[in-house]
Amino acid sequence: MSRSQRRRAVQRGTLVAAVFALPIIVAACGSSSGTASPTTSAAVPASTAAPTSTAGSSGSQRSTTTAPGGIIPIYEVKTGTVPGLGKVLTDGQGFTLYIFEPDKQSGRSTCYGNCASAWPPLLLPAGVTAPLAGTGVTSTLLGTTARTDGTTQVTYNRWPLYLWVNDSSPGQATGQGINNLGGLWYVLAPDGRPILTHP
């Protein structure tokens, strides 16, 4: 066999080997890359979704929570019941709202700095111009006041409204009647008058 014949035979053998190896290479590539099984993220039920929050000058403050009926804004003012106090004002999530006696029903807040950290003002989120009147609330008593940091605080009967960081669940009023950070704190009745009794 001549040299040129041997070269052609080697080339044919190489071609045949390549043809037979091609399916194996393709299969190997398919198995190495694989087809990832689709991942699914379970939708969070409306009743268990975590609240979203918005930060104000006094630190983090809740803004909305998801409930079975949909989104309930924190800036909704409604009524709830506290043992020993009866019907009081609460935010949209049911947390008790308070007034600060040094505000003197002036429609302006005097609670800033450390005071506002412990007693977060009930704020309207950016873009919202008015609070919502919930169950048991007189809508004409609702209002707002501008804070020195540019945020807008909800008022009721000209009392700026606050939350208390030590209330850990709706129905509590652990801040009622205490003298803290420069003055006394009270819950409000639905008619807009401070409730001065202790639970």
Residue 105: CB atoms within 10 A of its CB come to 15
Helix count (H) and strand count (E) of the chain? Answer: 2, 13
Read off the pTM. 0.67
Are the CB atoms for 131 and 76 separated by under 8 Å?
yes
**Residue 198: what pLDDT?**
82
**Residue 1: what pLDDT?**
53
Domain boundaries, the chain: 1-35, 52-195
Residue the block writes with tokens 């506290």:
82
Distance CA 152, CA 124 (A): 6
Q: Are strands 132-133 and 76-82 parallel, antiparallel or unpaired?
A: parallel
**Residue 154: what pLDDT?**
98
Q: Return averaged pLDDT per consecutive 10 residues of the chain, 199 residues in all.
A: 50 46 45 38 31 36 45 86 96 97 98 98 95 96 97 98 97 97 98 92
